[in-house]
A = this chain, B = another copy of it.
Amino acid sequence: MGHAPSTVHRLITAYQDILVSEGERSATLEAIAARAGVSKGGLTYHFRSKDELAAALFERLQSLVEADLAVMRSDPSRAADYYIRSSLEVESPLERCNMAVTRLAQGSHPEANELLARCRTQWFEVLMDAVGHEDMVHLVMLLGDGIYFNASLTGTGAMPEETDPATIDRIVRLIGTIRY
């Protein structure tokens, strides 16, 4: 039996989920509290301001990225493959959190922007260690971003057809044939 998630955890998740599915404007204090199943007073008890809530979201992303980097470092031979494929997992805690922070960044939230920049730098470095060829790393990261971007639009409403895992498989195979 796992613990039921704490109220604090639920509040951060509620904020994250509303950001992802409805955008920054809909993420009001009351909407967040309601989704987490507490009153507005309950929210402000744990987070005195929206900025504190955002800061908590940033911390969550940092630790999730840390864990992701550790996985990639643990098996460099599969790092690139892992990076591309995990971009597809829109439901994973990391991707959802990343998407939420991206929404804030696009709303010109400087902290969110800097955090994303740091994360991307770290992914780049780990991929460089694993792959060793700068252009290939750029290719892998751009591809991952593309998959991620597509997924993030699919998530909100209706995209032509979701990029399905089988297609990604074949694409990964295609770029696997590149000799550099």
Binding site for B on A (CB under 8 A): 21-26, 102-103, 105-108, 110, 113-114, 116-117, 120-121, 124, 135-136, 138-139, 141-150, 152-153, 156-160, 163, 167, 170-171, 174-175, 177-180
Please indicate the chain B residues that have their CB under 8 angstroms from the CB of A147 in the complex.
142, 145-146
List 8 extra interface pairs beyond A102-B153, A175-B175, CB under 8 A: A24-B25, A24-B107, A105-B153, A105-B157, A138-B167, A143-B143, A144-B146, A145-B145
Copies in the complex: 2
| Chain B residues in 8 Å Cβ range of A136 | 174
Instruction: Contact check, B157 vs A113: say whether CB atoms are below 8 A apart.
Output: yes
A177:B175 contact, CB within 8 angstroms: no
- A87, B129: Cα distance in complex, Å: 28
State in angstroms the CA–CA spacing of A138 and B120 once bound together. 23
Contacts of A174 in B (CB 8 A): 135-136, 139, 178, 180
Contact A138 B171, beta carbon cutoff 8 Å: yes
Indicate if the CB atoms of A108 and B156 lie closer than 8 Å. yes
Chain B min CB distance to A100 (Å):
11
Are the C-beta atoms of A139 and B171 separated by less than 8 Å? yes
- Chain B residues within 8 Å of A110, by CB: 157
Cβ–Cβ < 8 Å partners of A159 in chain B: 113, 116-117, 120
Q: List 18 A-B contacts (CB under 8 A).
A: A25-B25, A105-B153, A106-B153, A113-B158, A116-B159, A117-B157, A117-B158, A117-B160, A121-B160, A135-B167, A135-B171, A136-B174, A142-B147, A143-B143, A145-B147, A146-B147, A175-B178, A177-B179
